Amino acid sequence: MKHLLLSLLFATASVAATIPETAKVGQFFAGCQAYSFRLYNVFEAIDKTAQCGGKTIEFYPGQKFSAAKPDAKWDHNATPEMIAEVQKHLEAKGITPVGYGVVKLGQDDASNRKIFEFCKKLGIGVVVTEPDVTALDKIEALVKEFDIKMAIHNHPKRPLDRAYMFWDPNYVLGLVKDRDPRMGSCADVGHWVRSGLNPVDCIKILKGRIFDSHMKDLNAFGDVKAHDLPFGTGKSDIPAILAEYAAQGYPGPLHCEYEHNWETSVPEITQCMDFVRNWKAAK
């Protein structure tokens, strides 16, 4: 119990120390996973995040870079000039980069280091991954060296692939509970709903080890084909999720990852950000 409490206090203080208060939407640090705008380039994703009312962004590897450089991709192989262009645009739009993923971390030391170096340059504090679990010792060493958190992401349960276990919060907790307190979870609440799990129960299991959350409100429970709806209108019980995060003292980041109506999702994502902004914890 004492170890869990220390982990929670460390994680909360670490998040608060690295993300400015100006990046809050209501009482949470909140914004968009850039994958919500995968049909657009990274500059357009930043623009749309700001347009929707988000204050933070989580980048993903492989997004188109810009109209001026149609063949270039935005990822940890970006040149210093590309990074400088993106940083300038982030500052102009008032968006704080806080996460990067889902990206593979494994046995390749050079590749792992390049990912952490990229995040350090951008001031990103969380690497989101579905790692090679045999490489956790190597990953832990980089977490300590760079003071950057590793968050294990969960996709839905795969009935035909029993080796895939990241959907299970108890499995994720087992991987990180005895490691550096900066090793934890990126809680994808929508994928838990697709797996037939109650997100609040999962969040309680991972208390103190959640460093990022992909937020989705879906139109069906336990259905891998369920699609996104504006927060508060679906089956994920977003109010209960926010209440649990508030009760745990988790300030975010919360990232809306909207994978529906790809070309016309800005009004719906705006509704999601408005929901977070206007939500208040019950007294």
Domain-embedded: residue 19: no
Tokens 């996973």: give the residue: 33
CA angle centred on 200, ends 198 and 205, rounded to 5°? 100
Domain-embedded: residue 80: yes
φ, ψ (nearest 5 deg) of residue 266 = -55, -45
Calculate mean pLDDT across residues 7-28.
72
Return all residues near 235 (Cβ < 8 A) that are at least 6 apart. Answer: 193, 217, 218, 219, 220, 221, 226
Domain-embedded: residue 54: yes
Residue 167 class from Cβ within 10 Å (0-12 exposed, 13-18 middle, 19+ buried)?
A: buried
**Structural domain of 91:** 2-7+25-278
Residue 118 class from Cβ within 10 Å (0-12 exposed, 13-18 middle, 19+ buried)?
A: buried
Per-residue pLDDT at 17: 52
Domain-embedded: residue 113: yes
Per-residue pLDDT at 79: 98
DSSP symbols for 149-197: EEEEE-----TT-TT--TT-HHHHHHHHTTS-TTEEEEEEHHHHHHTT-
Domain count, the chain: 1
CA angle centred on 117, ends 71 and 36, rounded to 5°? 50
Domain-embedded: residue 194: yes
Q: pLDDT-based confidence at 281, cuts 50/70/90?
A: confident
Domain-embedded: residue 16: no
Q: What is the pLDDT of residues 109-158, one digit of tens each?
A: 999 999 999 999 999 999 999 999 999 999 999 999 999 999 999 999 99
Report yes or no on whether pTM surpasses 0.85. Answer: yes
Q: What is the pLDDT of residues 46-68, one digit of tens each?
A: 999 999 999 999 999 999 999 99
Q: What is the pLDDT of residues 76-100, one digit of tens each?
A: 999 999 999 999 999 999 999 999 9
Q: What is the domain-level CATH number for residue 217?
A: 3.20.20.150
Domain-embedded: residue 218: yes
| Average pLDDT value for the chain | 94
Which amino acid type is present at position 210? I
| Element holding 213 (H helix, E strand) | strand 210-215
